[in-house]
Structure 1
Amino acid sequence: MPSEASVTAIANESHLLERLQRANSRSTNGSLVSNIRQRRSQVQKNDTSLDDIPNYVKRLFAVDIDAILTLSVKPGESFFLVWYFISVFLPVLTACLGPFANMISIVALVEHWRFDSMLQREIPEERYLAAINGLSLAFGIIGNISLLMNFSGRVKYLFTQCISIISWFLASMLLLVVIIQSDKSCIQHESYHRTEGFWFGVITALFYFICSIFLSVNFVGYKLDKYPATFNLDSRQRSLMIYTIVLAVWFVVGSICMEHLISGLTLGSSLYFCTVSILTIGLGDILPVSAGSRVFDLLYSLIGLLVLGLIIASIRSVVLSSASPVIIWHIMEKRRSKYLDEVRLGIKTFESFQAFDKMRDIRRSAEKYELNISLILSVGTFTMFWLIGALVLSRVESGWSYFDAFYFCFLCLLTIGYGDFAPKSSFGRAFFVTWGICAVPLMTILISSIGDKLYDFAESMSSFLTKSTNIIAKYTIHEPFWIRRPKKEKNHDDDTEQVFTNNSSSIKTFPESMHNASLNSDEVDKTASSKAADLARHSDALETQNVDFINALHSEIKDMHFALNHLSDSMDLLQNLLADCFEQPKRIYTHDQWLDFYKIKTTNLKKPRVLPKAMIHGGHQAEFWLSEKSPLAIPLSEPNYLAVRVLQKIKRDLEYLTSKEADTLKKFDDAFAPD
């Protein structure tokens, strides 16, 4: 039984789901834009935020409902996915690129950019170029700190966004000046060659410019009033930047230490070695020889691998919780609105169960479409990284054919690393650091996602084969009649008549509990009549005016008995729903089961009677299941949703019974009060 505090909290939020469904409405007088702006103005007026919505309400939805409510476009509308990904994923991508850009920029600042092959020594940069390089790093760090403050919400969006965009743009332009001057020097002197520092500078300038572009596009969305002045992120997405900063700092620390522990390494080569170690590739071209370097490498690789695993898990969680459900919802809305328009125009007609089944079909087809698209994009992205990496390395590494690079990149993506191939050139190692940090985690996420899909497919196939085997055994294997086996319990997943089960036989099933009030109506009459008869035996001693009160009391006792019986049914239903919430949170219910729920939900205790199914939705059931108010139109956890709605119904019934009891006691006191 839930506590009184939780009941009160849910009662206070009882109108939230209706507000969310109204925000999903496409009616002419209630568009999403107006609803969102209305809600946003209400939030500002009350000095609250969307974060004030309790977590138990947010968990009813399979999507981050805050991210949807914040947008001024709704699922199903044009460019919804575009603005959703701009508001959610561009800041996340920037948060991943920014720290690594600072990491590479440190190497570009410390390393010399030119090498004289005739003198066999590195050429130091001119002082003004070194100063510009250092100023670029300073701007890059400022942009990263500003973005971190923006993620934390401690500083206003407009201020930090402008600081980050300007800082990263200036950092990229300053590096571009150094790159042009150094490249011009290499062209003028044939003995000069570009070192790892030069190529790390090129990559850093590119990363800084991409970060400024991403944040600029996000800022344009705000100026177009697609979302308010804040990053549309949840706590997991905000914490991802912290993990990325920790990993970038760990790379820098490891590179500096390895440069001193392994002789003959530059800072760029040391960063390459740390990348190979943390990504568990192990090419073997650079080896720790001393005992100190080996001990440090053991601890360094272990900690780095743990931090990398944390980042991979966070990225996977963000993608699975943010991208897939939203895409499914968007596809469902487009198809649902199409069928609803056809029904309203009379082009198609559906019975209630047909409309319900159509919504189920829409969801299944949307999930299948999203699965195909995600697999195509994942495999396509992986293939792109693979082929582009092979193409670049085959061109810059001497003696490598395209097949050699093709073979090498695939082994690195699988983190095998036989050591027969390894990049030796300055650009090859700089490119491999960037490519490996991006591609290897991507491969891990891809394998994990495909593994989940294969696991679900294997589970469904196992269930299908088990059922098929049982059916075949039932009709082909016959035992002697004297052998009696105990009856097996009914499978919970195959139960189409009973929505909820419980080990206790005293708990009523869903349909039984739904119709309990109508089945016991005779008992209500007998009990109430018996009590009225007892009172009538004593009515001779009362005054004549109290007879009317006794008759009224008889009616109220009958109504309260019905209400208590109905409340008991609701409690049984809630208990079974909570069992599904814990055991089968993804369970979906049939058409009749949903109608039974609406029957108990719409039972009015003020007029005690159980509504027939045909009256539940005013005769427009088919349109209801396809409409914006349908719970099937929103990505909900059905057991959680029903449990919350039943709990809200119980709270309203308790309030009614409390007021009813108070009124009855007042009437009783007034009737028998002494003159």
Structure 2
Amino acid sequence: MNDPGLDEPVEKAAQDVNLNRWWFASTACPLIAGTFGPIANAFSICALVTKWRVYIPPGKDEAHGQKIQDPKWLIAINAVSLAFALIANMALLLNMTSRLSFTIAQPITIVGWYMASFLLIALVSVASTSAFRLPPASAHALSQAYYYAVIASGLYFIVSSLMILTVVGAYRGHYRKAFRLTPSQRTLMLQTISFVVYLLLGALVFSTVEGWDFLDAVYWADVTLLTVGLGDFSPSTHAGRSLLFPFAFGGIVMVGLVIGSIRSLILERGKQKMAARFLETKRQKVVSTVDDDKRTITVGRWTKTSFSEKGLTESQRREQEFRVMRQIQEKAERSRKYTALAISTTASLLLWFLGALVFWYSEQPQGWTYFMSMYFAYFSLLTIGYGDLTPISNSGKTFFVFWTLLAVPMLTILISNMGDTVIKSFKDLTMWIGSLTVLPGEQGLGSTLKVGLQRLKLGNLNTDNEGADKGLTARGAAEQTKLDRLARHVEEDELEEAEEVGEHGDYLERDIRFYHFVLAKEIRQLLKDVGTTPPKQYTYHEWSYYLRLIGQDEDDAESHRKPNVHHRRRQGSEPDLGIADEGENLKWSWLGIRSPLMGSKTEAQWLLQRLMATLEMEMMKLRSSDESLRREPPPISMSDLKNKGKGSSGSESTAPETELKGEIESAHDREKGKKDE
């Protein structure tokens, strides 16, 4: 028997559910490390190439101070720290490209970054003492290089700690000892490295051309490439203005590529993993809420629906499970969207408020209030860049570079999540209002109002009215769907050969050829559905038809499992998952973990894979030397059309030729009439 559950065994399915819990350690941690590691390297370079102390002449500020030579020991330790960090970063990249094994690369990466962090922390601690800064304190200050070292030490410590989480999860067996990074994730890392190198090289060129301090040029390059445009630094030489054309264009393109990669990454992996986790949590919660006395199941906080097997056929019971699972999908997806929006909104607000707090503290010599800092952080975060307020302190400029690099991915994530929730709701509301006023739908104003009120009542945008009688006519509707689809295939010229075989009385051979033809045509249709956005969801009757094609009959209770939901869970016990029974014949439930609606694939992908596997198996049967295997009756028959309305299923081998021809001609006439209409 074909098992229409998840492709992997039950143990593998459980591992996939568990892997969703460990997604942060297996995927997010190395991705963050691979992205922010190069940024920390860039900050280390900034901390190494410039002196750490400045003398402030009378009437000047620290931004225009005179550099004081650093001790040689500070330069040496700073260089060693950078060397450790570069080796660690190189080991990580080699591991991600499979040039270095996990067991060798990870100790090098973790130890290297920790050593880089501890050395910089030691230097920063010494540099913060009054002895290093030289008396009098009012006439001396720390340069931007010192603050770049502070940020770099923190980044090294964070990314190395994240990699420890990755290693722990791998050695505990939650995932393989390898990075589960997709091409888009690797691309994001390479794009980040390229952008950092581009920024530093551009700063070096413009510092030479314009006579700026190198770290001031880094600040200017950051403001320029991220299109903030504060205006406190701008090229004044003819050479600098000429070089700005290619530099700004190339940098903005690179920023766009990074933003695009972040967005695709969120859509590709983050949503998928988060959605799988929300769906599984919601499914387990709903399955445990069946009320035998009231014959209901609680799908939402204020949503209960009827759930009883009394008086239902097997197909009706299965359709009932299917509809509950669809509601679980919808509510889990809505929860995921708004949870993601809440997280990204909170993170963005923290970035704004905490950033303003740092700017307020660093720019106290300018007399900034916290409100002024919030104002500056706001128009900088949105890249408006009025320029009426700009940071002039060494700490403020350094933090601004780091802060804006965080703002780009954060705002990208926020806008993406808003597009799935707030913006989509506003768009739907606008279209609905338009349909009531200047853009009435084809069905008229009354129908539009009725649909709108129904959506508000249901609390979602699901307009599938399939089975308004709650599944009481499931068998008839499913049979009608199957027969209609088969009738559409009969009109094809390629079936003439199958009809000719039937004319000679070999109805089984005719049905086998017809079955192969239907499989090929349905695979072609599913190939079109695979690329649709959003992913297509099929009705229960369509699922019933497709499952019949792969050898599963929704009317056959022997291949199905009833989730043990009729008894309340004891405290601390796990809910029944509806997974496959032990043994060769695997049984499943629409509400179980083996349900096709629970997989990581889209419904079209799942069905396409199954139909292709079924067609391959049929081709193998034709090449088999076993006559009984080659002559095994298919799950559908052309004679199903003849028996339309009688609820017949299975292969018919005694259908008279004249009756079959008449049914085929009727199918041709129906299709022709539909086309004429």
TM bracket (short chain)? 0.7 to 0.9
Contact between 2:228 and 2:383, CA under 8 Å: does it hold in 1? yes
Contact between 2:45 and 2:82, CA under 8 Å: does it hold in 1? yes
Q: What is the alpha-carbon distance in structure 1 between the residues aligned to residue 161 and residue 544 of structure 2?
A: 51
Alpha-carbon shift at residue 601 of structure 1 (Å): 2.1
The equivalent position to 2:173 in structure 1, one of 218, 225, 233, is 225
Alpha-carbon shift at residue 656 of structure 1 (Å): 3.2
Report Cα offsets for 1:577-635 as digits up to 9, x if no partner: 334335567221111221122223217xxxxxxx6x42265465776211232201224
Correspondence for 2:35? 96
Within-5 A mapping of 1:425-436: 425-436=393-404
Q: Which amino acid aligns with 1:472?
A: G
Contact between 2:33 and 2:159, CA under 8 Å: does it hold in 1? yes
Q: What is the alpha-carbon distance in structure 2 between the residues aligned to residue 422 and residue 253 of structure 1?
A: 24
Correspondence for 2:314? none
Are 1:156 and 2:101 counterparts? Answer: yes
Are 1:588 and 2:540 counterparts? Answer: no
The equivalent position to 1:567 in structure 2, one of 505, 508, 516, is 516
Alpha-carbon shift at residue 429 of structure 1 (Å): 0.4
Within-5 A mapping of 1:40-189: 73-75=15-17, 81-117=20-56, 121-184=66-129, 185-186=131-132, 189=135
Report Cα offsets for 1:457-497 as digits up to 9, x if no partner: 35644665659733335889xxxxxxxxxxxxxxxx98969
Contact between 2:46 and 2:145, CA under 8 Å: does it hold in 1? yes
Correspondence for 2:242? 295
Q: What is the alpha-carbon distance in structure 1 between the residues aligned to residue 121 and residue 630 of structure 2?
A: 86
Q: What is the alpha-carbon distance in structure 2 between the residues aligned to residue 180 and residue 152 of structure 1?
A: 37
Are 1:382 and 2:348 counterparts? Answer: yes
Decide whether aligned partners of structure 1 residues 516 and 209 sit closer, same or farther in structure 2, where only a CA change above 3 A counts: closer
Alpha-carbon shift at residue 99 of structure 1 (Å): 0.8
Contact between 2:78 and 2:119, CA under 8 Å: does it hold in 1? yes
Within-5 A mapping of 1:53-452: 73-75=15-17, 81-117=20-56, 121-184=66-129, 185-186=131-132, 189=135, 190=137, 191-263=139-211, 265-340=212-287, 349-350=308-309, 351-397=317-363, 398-451=366-419
Correspondence for 1:65? none
Q: TM-score, normalised by structure 2?
A: 0.72
Alpha-carbon shift at residue 406 of structure 1 (Å): 0.5
Correspondence for 2:526? 577
Contact between 2:501 and 2:509, CA under 8 Å: does it hold in 1? no
RMSD: 3.7
Q: Please, which runs of 5 or more residues in structure 1 have no aligned partner? A: 1-13, 34-72, 477-492, 498-507, 532-553, 604-610, 667-675
| Aligned residue pairs, count | 543
Decide whether aligned partners of structure 1 residues 462 and 596 sit closer, same or farther in structure 2, where only a CA change above 3 A counts: farther
Decide whether aligned partners of structure 1 residues 619 and 494 sit closer, same or farther in structure 2, where only a CA change above 3 A counts: closer
Contact between 2:5 and 2:596, CA under 8 Å: does it hold in 1? no
Q: What is the alpha-carbon distance in structure 2 between the residues aligned to residue 472 and residue 420 of structure 1?
A: 54
Q: What is the alpha-carbon distance in structure 1 between the residues aligned to residue 116 and residue 37 of structure 2?
A: 12
Alpha-carbon shift at residue 31 of structure 1 (Å): 6.7
Q: What is the alpha-carbon distance in structure 1 between the residues aligned to residue 529 and residue 80 of structure 2?
A: 59
Q: Which amino acid aligns with 2:383?
A: T
Within-5 A mapping of 1:460-475: 460-461=428-429, 466=435, 469-472=441-444
- Give the 3-state SS of the residue equivalent to 2:594 in structure 1: coil
Q: What is the alpha-carbon distance in structure 1 between the residues aligned to residue 327 and residue 481 of structure 2?
A: 27
Within-5 A mapping of 1:644-663: 644-659=609-624
Decide whether aligned partners of structure 1 residues 462 and 512 sit closer, same or farther in structure 2, where only a CA change above 3 A counts: farther
Decide whether aligned partners of structure 1 residues 638 and 525 sit closer, same or farther in structure 2, where only a CA change above 3 A counts: closer
Q: Which amino acid aligns with 1:614?
A: D
Alpha-carbon shift at residue 558 of structure 1 (Å): 2.6
Within-5 A mapping of 1:596-611: 596-602=545-551
Report Cα offsets for 1:246-267 as digits up to 9, x if no partner: 111111101111111112x211
Contact between 2:344 and 2:413, CA under 8 Å: does it hold in 1? no
Alpha-carbon shift at residue 207 of structure 1 (Å): 1.4
Decide whether aligned partners of structure 1 residues 578 and 107 sit closer, same or farther in structure 2, where only a CA change above 3 A counts: closer
- Give the 3-state SS of the residue equivalent to 2:589 in structure 1: helix
Contact between 1:577 and 1:639, CA under 8 Å: does it hold in 2? yes
Contact between 1:352 and 1:621, CA under 8 Å: does it hold in 2? no
Alpha-carbon shift at residue 269 of structure 1 (Å): 0.8
Q: What is the alpha-carbon distance in structure 2 between the residues aligned to residue 471 and residue 319 of structure 1?
A: 38
Report Cα offsets for 1:14-37 as digits up to 9, x if no partner: 99x9795444x3xxxx4757xxxx
Q: Please, which runs of 5 or more residues in structure 2 have no aligned partner? A: 59-64, 296-306, 310-316, 449-462, 468-479, 491-495, 564-587, 632-677
- Give the 3-state SS of the residue equivalent to 2:193 in structure 1: helix
Q: What is the alpha-carbon distance in structure 1 between the residues aligned to residue 629 and residue 332 of structure 2?
A: 54
Q: What is the alpha-carbon distance in structure 1 between the residues aligned to residue 489 and residue 243 of structure 2?
A: 73
Q: Which amino acid aligns with 2:237?
A: S
Q: What is the alpha-carbon distance in structure 1 between the residues aligned to residue 170 and residue 117 of structure 2?
A: 24
Alpha-carbon shift at residue 74 of structure 1 (Å): 3.7
Report Cα offsets for 1:8-65 as digits up to 9, x if no partner: xxxxxx99x9795444x3xxxx4757xxxxxxxxxxxxxxxxxxxxxxxxxxxxxxxx
Q: What is the alpha-carbon distance in structure 2 between the residues aligned to residue 314 and residue 93 of structure 1?
A: 14
Q: TM-score, normalised by structure 1?
A: 0.73
Q: What is the alpha-carbon distance in structure 1 between the residues aligned to residue 189 and residue 629 of structure 2?
A: 62
Alpha-carbon shift at residue 174 of structure 1 (Å): 1.4
Single out whichever of 462-471 and 238-247 deviates more from structure 2: 462-471
Contact between 1:116 and 1:192, CA under 8 Å: does it hold in 2? yes
Q: What is the alpha-carbon distance in structure 2 between the residues aligned to residue 400 and residue 252 of structure 1?
A: 30
Contact between 2:27 and 2:181, CA under 8 Å: does it hold in 1? yes
Alpha-carbon shift at residue 323 of structure 1 (Å): 1.4
Q: Which amino acid aligns with 2:37?
A: G
Alpha-carbon shift at residue 646 of structure 1 (Å): 2.2
Q: What is the alpha-carbon distance in structure 2 between the residues aligned to residue 368 and residue 462 of structure 1?
A: 20
| Identity between Structure 1 and Structure 2 (%) | 27
Q: What is the alpha-carbon distance in structure 2 between the residues aligned to residue 369 and residue 132 of structure 1?
A: 50
Q: Which amino acid aligns with 1:198?
A: Y
Q: What is the alpha-carbon distance in structure 2 between the residues aligned to residue 91 and residue 563 of structure 1?
A: 52
Correspondence for 1:38? none
Contact between 1:106 and 1:137, CA under 8 Å: does it hold in 2? yes
Q: Which amino acid aligns with 1:423?
A: P
Q: Which amino acid aligns with 2:110?
A: I
Contact between 1:510 and 1:573, CA under 8 Å: does it hold in 2? no
